[in-house]
Structure 1
Amino acid sequence: MTVRQINPDVMAFLIGRLSELTGTPPSEIGIDIALIDLGLQSIDAVLLCGEIEDRFRIELDPTTIFDAETLGDFAREVSSRVDGA
């Protein structure tokens, strides 16, 4: 089984936006943090998915963020779409 890699540009973007949206310092947002623990609101999650689509020119169903348990899981999913685009 191949472990999907995380695109560093994707991870940097996610950490930056999650920090802005939740008020959490970037240094406290790690790959293993549960997205629910960040206090991300549903509307912010939907907006974030739209920003990801615009920034990386991919299609991303907003439910993708809710399906991911951790930031790493979500970053891997986004990265697989970016790197496969």
Structure 2
Amino acid sequence: MPVPTTGHTTESLTTWLAERIALYLKRRPDEIASDVPLAEYGLDSVAALSLCGDIEDDFDLVVEPTVAWDYPTVDALAVHLMEEIAADTAKSGGA
């Protein structure tokens, strides 16, 4: 799959997600391990919904409110978002 032209990488999305999740959970980003299920940190439905809103605002992607449970770690969510960004870029680029 080609790298999207948006400039996002899985690493940059992982960092962004860790920062957002840390904000919601009142933790430091370095306390959010990318391979630990978000539920183990206490991510609840309110925070998950807020995360969805931030994803929509910052990346112009519409994601389901269950995305934090469908992709339960920062790593899994970052990979999913990269796939969504790539698909959206391909679609809008006429590919």
Q: By the TM > 0.5 criterion, same fold?
A: yes
Is the contact made by 2:48 and 2:65 (CA closer than 8 Å) also made in structure 1? yes
Q: Between Structure 1 and Structure 2, whose CA radius of gyration is higher? A: 2
> What is the TM-score of this pair, normalised by structure 2?
0.74
Number of residue pairs aligned between Structure 1 and Structure 2: 81
Offset, 1:45: 0.4
Aligned match of 1:80: 83
Q: Where in structure 1 are there 5+ consecutive unaligned residues?
A: none
Give the ranges of 4+ consecutive aligned residues of structure 1 lying more than 6 Å apart after TM superposition.
none
Aligned match of 1:40: 43
Q: Where in structure 2 are there 5+ consecutive unaligned residues?
A: 2-8, 89-95
> What is the TM-score of this pair, normalised by structure 1?
0.82
Mapped pair 1:15 → 2:23: no
Cα RMSD for the two superposed structures: 1.7
